[in-house]
Amino acid sequence: MAQSGSNTPVSAAQERHGVAAGLKDQVSGLMDSAIALRRGLHAWPEIGNTLPKTREQVLAALDGLPLDITLHQTTSGIAAMLTGDKSGPTVMLRGDMDALPMPEDTGLDFASNVENCMHACGHDTHTSMLVSTARLLSERRSEIPGRVLFMFQPGEEGYHGAQFMLDEGLLNVSPLSDGTPSPIKAAYALHIVSSIPVGMVGSRGGPVMASSDTLSITITGRGGHASEPFRTLDPIPVACEIVQALQMMITRRIDTFDPSVVTITRLIAGTTTNVIPETALIEGTIRAVSEKTRNKVHENIRRVAEGIAAAHEMQAVVEIKYGYPVTVNDTPSVDFALDIAESLLGEGKAVRMPAPVMGAEDFSYVLNKLPGAMIFLGGTPADKNAATAAPNHSNRVYFDETSMSHGVALYASLALRTLGVTLS
């Protein structure tokens, strides 16, 4: 284990060497237990905000570490606080713990034992990396000026788990025992991605992931005989017109440089070939990378759907359910994180992404409150190439576990460097 905390100035090169020599040794010593925990979590995945088995495994793995643990009541969330020997602010690291409702077809030795439940987004690796980081930083407690808050959250896959933890007071951290305030200075989350090569990370300042809302439009006409449409109000052509018009709205009303996606994923109408039904239902998803465009798209969907229905003497009822907000990274935090990642992984291995990804993340709720960043971690399996490996959320996705050593080193370095520890 490397010792640091001396006041001797070190050059960037020395620091890099020091990181490689000290932290990396410490990380490699933790990898067997990290992989074992990850496989244990993978074999017993759970969905949503209630993850009793997962919580049990995480608590067992944290047992014996000098952490103040708060078990959240509204969800299976765990907040674990490590207090260093010196005073200073707090830095928060997040790992999500939930799986997806889908079958697993990877053929892995440690594949899911639970029918229709799979860790297909790699949250098992995140949880395990965060546990290992807690171990690593506990060993370095004497050199930590401040605190590290480990956020183990459930319900990332659409259940607003992070928001539940915020509502339960996650960010209201108490002062240190001597009364010194120790507010949370920054928050970081890593997300493993099977389509980014191992040994690389990527992120960007500003919007990094999209908002995700769901859309439902019910068109009500008047049913009747299919041979006499003029005696009815047929909602089916109106539904088709609305679907087309929404695509035109996106290209004509929305700023090309602040884009949005509206995808209609479900159309339901009718029961047979000789009946005009009374109603038609349209459902889909709405993505945006700014709150301004998000709101504008919502307004435009309402106007277009209601206007087209009215033009044909029908009614459209538009229901938009808010999902996660846009995930917006703090640019200085991204610069800081990518610089650290490059020092760990080598030149050219920390990439600034040219555009956001259109998936969504509930770490967005945290980044609406604190500066910080969401960083993508390369995890392409060794026998695949990044372009064709099964993607996250595939029933066949798997990850290279060596990427977890990069994740632990990055989590730990982010915490130490945010608190001002020079890695030497």
Q: Which residues bind Zn ion (CB under 5 A)?
A: 121
CB-wise, 40 or 158, nearer to Zn ion? 158
Per the annotation, the verdict on 139 as an active-site residue is no
Distance of closest approach, residue 359 Cβ to Zn ion, in angstroms: 7
CB-wise, 121 or 288, nearer to Zn ion? 121
Which run of H or E residues covers position 215?
Answer: strand 211-220
CB-wise, 326 or 419, nearer to Zn ion? 326
Residues 6+ apart with CB under 8 A from 384: 194, 390
Task: Outline where 177-290 has alpha helix (H).
Answer: 235-253
Distance of closest approach, residue 183 Cβ to Zn ion, in angstroms: 28
Distance of closest approach, residue 389 Cβ to Zn ion, in angstroms: 16
CA distance 388 to 399: 13
Q: Which long-range contacts (CB under 8 A, 24 or more apart) does 304-308 make?
A: 304/242, 304/245, 304/246, 304/249, 305/217, 305/219, 305/242, 305/246, 308/238, 308/241, 308/242, 308/245
Per the annotation, the verdict on 159 as an active-site residue is no
Catalytic member of 156, 306, 401, 411: 401
CB-wise, 121 or 130, nearer to Zn ion? 121
Distance of closest approach, residue 393 Cβ to Zn ion, in angstroms: 6
Catalytic member of 159, 188, 324, 398: 324
Which residues partner with 184 through β-bridges?
A: 90
Structural contact between residues 78 and 69, judged by C-beta atoms closer than 8 angstroms: yes
CA distance 376 to 340: 14
231: phi then psi, degrees, rounded to nearest 5:
-90, 0
CB-wise, 140 or 191, nearer to Zn ion? 191
Residues 6+ apart with CB under 8 A from 137: 82, 144, 148, 412, 415, 416
Distance of closest approach, residue 378 Cβ to Zn ion, in angstroms: 15
> Which of the residues are catalytic?
324, 401
